[in-house]
Amino acid sequence: MRPEDRERIQLEVVSRVLERHVSAARQGPGARQGAEVLETLVSDTLYHERRRLERDTPAPGELALYADIARRLPKASESELVRMIEALLARFVEEVVGNFDERVYRVSTSVVPAGLSLLLKAAGAESARDLLSVRRRTASVRDHIDVSGEVEHVRSLVDQGTLVVVPTHSSHLDSIVLGYTAHLLGLPPLLYGAGLNLFKSPLVSYFMNHLGAYRVDRKKTAALYKEVLKEYATVALELGYHNLFFPGGTRSRSGAVERHLKKGLLGTGLTAYINNLKQGRPKPRVFIVPCTISYDLVLEAETLIDDYLREVGKSRYIIEDDEFSRPRRVLNFFNEIATLEGKIAVTFGRPLDVVGNLVDGQGQSLDPRGRVVDTASYVALGRGVGGSAPEHEPQRDQQYTEELAAAVVRELRRVNVVMSTHVVAEVLMKLLGEANPGMDRYRLLRTGGGAPSFPHGLVVSRVGELLAAIREAGAPLVAGEMLGATPLQVVDDALRHFKSFHTRPVAERRGDRIFHEDRNLLLYYSNRLSGYELKRREAVPEAIRQEGG
């Protein structure tokens, strides 16, 4: 972030949020009522902050500030209340922006890949000497990240407006991978909100600080704080900073592609667009870029699926004790990538406008029949043909964001890439279900049912059928390395990954049978294929090829 913008953004966020509350309070029935509204806001914020501090370590000055406000609150006049809210906002914004070093941020694009390469080298190195040897590892990160999809399209939009990249989320490594991808594509850095816990992890805070990360404390539950985060993202977009939001809000616990998106953050694109139009900014457009990130193996898979199964729907929103916080596991993970030639597939979907239309290379909105539409017409409010001025309209804008969310979900599903591990896990889960008809899923996962293994040949032929069904359906996409592979090779590849990184092998071949070992992980990896209506098809005998592209 440019130094002059940093201060501007802070002031802008504080004044906008403050203005919103003050004018809402003044629109109330009477002056007294107005003051009450503000007082409620202050005490609500204090309440949530104090509850958080019962468990959380206070930041310097935090306790003093809250104590002071609490003491003055009962007798505070309206203008004092306004100043209190301002103080709270200033504190929140300060923390969000963090002690971000602009100079470092500017060189981030070269620092991140270097760091990633180093990580890969360190992972593969068996000794310090290896680490220094250039020849030991020739593989660069580039060889492990497979970028595909609407890359040129996305690149062409950089000059037409501001991007909001909305990827699937399965690992904390996602942001690093995308930071690097942006570098590969020659895109400007992406600004994004990262949980405070990521900054605490020694290995990864390095990357966080060098990517465009701002701090999000998910333990802060006060509405005012969340408002600050949203406004921060909005103002940053208006200033032309490309953003990265994980639209699911958190890492997918089940392993499936996100189906329910967080509308609050997603809607900031529309808000920023309308503000841009109102202020007559030269490039007002905001583009939403869906993107999927697929891994052969997911670093945090064990913790995530465990959390998912613990009680579906009641999973922990914040996990601080996962694989990501254990440097050794992170290193092992990179080792796995390096030695098994693991791939990370980053696939860009078709970019959308703020109401969910596709856009062309010039950033113009297209209707479903490909006709150019004036994007601004959607936000024109008022009477008369052609509407009048661009304006916010909360009820309408909320519906627009719902439509955008649906379009993003559709696009994510369309460009979801499945790896050999997902395909083989899906087949094994299906076989398990068939071998234990009517058995409760949790019991099946726990006990494994009556069939501890399946014939290798059967698994291979079912993989062939599944790949044929995927090909026929046209979605999900199949990872590049599977395109020319036979079902046998796909099974071998998956089994190699399955025994390499996780605490115990997910599934394993012994003789001519395949044993399922960690069924929770099988469920996790198979979920990447959930929601696609794939019918069983006869396998095509020759190698699986994807048509069209």
What residue ranges bind other proteins (CB under 8 A)?
355, 357, 365, 367-369, 371, 373-381, 383-387, 393, 395-396, 399-400, 402-403
Closer Cβ to other proteins, 320 or 360, answer by number: 360
C-beta of 64: minimal distance to other proteins in Å?
46
For the CB of residue 201, give the shortest distance to other proteins in the complex, in Å.
42
Nearer to other proteins, 64 or 406 (CB): 406
Distance (Å, whole) CA 468 – CA 537: 6
Query: Which residues sit opposite 212 in a β-bridge?
Result: 191
Q: Which two tokens stand for residue 400?
A: 């627009």
d(CA 342, CA 299): 12
- Work out the burial of residue 291: count CB atoms within 10 Å of its CB; fewer than 13 is exposed, 13-18 middle, 19 or more buried: buried
Burial 402-414 (b: 16+ CB within 10 A, else e): bebbebbbebbbb
- DSSP conformation letters of 13-27: HHHHHHHHHHHHHHT
Residue 170, C-beta contacts closer than 8 angstroms, at least 6 positions apart:
251, 252, 255, 293, 295, 298, 300, 304
Complex with other proteins: residue 86 or 403, whichever CB lies closer: 403
Distance CA 511, CA 526 (A): 24
Helix (H) or strand (E) holding 164: strand 162-167
How near is the Cβ of 273 to other proteins at its closest, in Å?
A: 12
Q: Report the residue number, 246 or 378, with the smaller CB distance to other proteins.
A: 378
User: Which CB atom, from 135 or from 383, has the smaller least distance to other proteins?
Assistant: 383
Cβ proximity to other proteins, 128 vs 385, nearer residue: 385
* Integer CA distances (angstroms), 19 to 12, 84, 272, 278, 534, in order: 10, 13, 17, 17, 52
- Report the C-alpha gap between 256 and 426 in whole angstroms: 12
Give the Cβ contact number of residue 65 at 10 Å: 18
Smallest gap from Cβ 48 to other proteins, in A, equals 31
Q: Least distance from C-beta 29 to other proteins, angstroms?
A: 20
Question: At closest approach, how far in Å is the CB of 270 from other proteins?
Answer: 12
Burial of 28 (0-12, 13-18, 19+ CB in 10 A): middle
Comparing C-alpha atoms, which of 6, 92, 1, 106 is closest to residue 46? 92
The answer to whether residues 251 and 301 touch, using CB atoms and an 8 Å cutoff, is no
Shortest distance in whole angstroms from residue 283 CB to other proteins: 19
Task: Give whichever of 387 and 449 is closer to other proteins, judged by the CB atom.
Answer: 387
Please identify, using beta-carbon distances, which residue of 162 and 375 lies nearer to other proteins. 375
Q: How far is the CB of 368 from other proteins (least distance, A)?
A: 5
- Identity of the residue, 103 or 369, whose beta carbon is nearer to other proteins in the bound complex: 369
Q: How far is the CB of 4 from other proteins (least distance, A)?
A: 35
What is the token pair recorded at 174?
Answer: 């996602």
